[in-house]
Amino acid sequence: MASKLLRAVILGPPGSGKGTVCQRIAQNFGLQHLSSGHFLRENLKANTEVGEMARQYLEKGLLVPDHVITRLMVSELELRSGQHWLLDGFPRTIVQAEALDKICDLDLVISLNIPFETLKDRLSRRWIHRPSGRVYNLDFNPPHVHGIDDITGEPLVQQEDDKPEAVAAKLRRYKDAAKPVIELYKSRGVLHQFSGTETNRIWPYVYTLFSNKITPIQSKEAY
């Protein structure tokens, strides 16, 4: 097995089970799970320069632009140049993908293809704990007590953009932005697409793919 550091990206629309797959990859293969959403929340909380830049857009209900997200993620990646990692939530656009190209070569890009109706159903069943970003789904990841975060006991909320009409618009936006990114990685031969409606059915194929690139740190597939 090569000793080269593994550089991987996971692409998938909101509600695709991307977070769950990332946790399993991190657990089984020892990759650092680097989530753009997590880093954004950390920088907002710490009032860093890049956090303040992002806040100006978020407070107006706008998407954080490419140059801000790219700056945030590139600085985080530079801190982890000696680690295997898995990127989640970045790159989302072709501009971000081109910026990532300048600092590293990717070994694996996973794209999760989940039917539109499945995503719509999942997302409208989603509740979040806003301070931590923890996500619950009433069908397959419900809180122990309805409406309450398992860890802090604080209330959960349903975001406006998790209502069905907003979900449909969000999924269309994702698809439009992701299409050229997917095409780029496909043309390079590093893209692996997985289709299905259940994370547990997709997972064994993802596990096998990673096993061919890096030795698992656990002898069995952890769920």
Which residues belong to the annotated binding site for a ribonucleoside 5'-triphosphate?
A: 15-20, 126, 135-136, 199
Residue 189: HSE in the Cβ half-sphere, 13 Å Cα cutoff: 0
User: Nearest to residue 184, comparing CAs of 103, 98, 85?
Assistant: 98
Cα-based distances in Å from 40 to 90, 161, 217: 11, 18, 29
CA distance 178 to 199: 20
User: Nearest to residue 23, comparing CAs of 186, 169, 207, 177?
Assistant: 207
Q: Which residue ranges are tagged as binding site for AMP? A: 36, 41, 62-64, 89-92, 96
Q: Which residue ranges are tagged as binding site? A: 15-20, 36, 41, 62-64, 89-92, 96, 126, 135-136, 199
Cα-based distances in Å from 181 to 68, 138, 216: 18, 31, 28
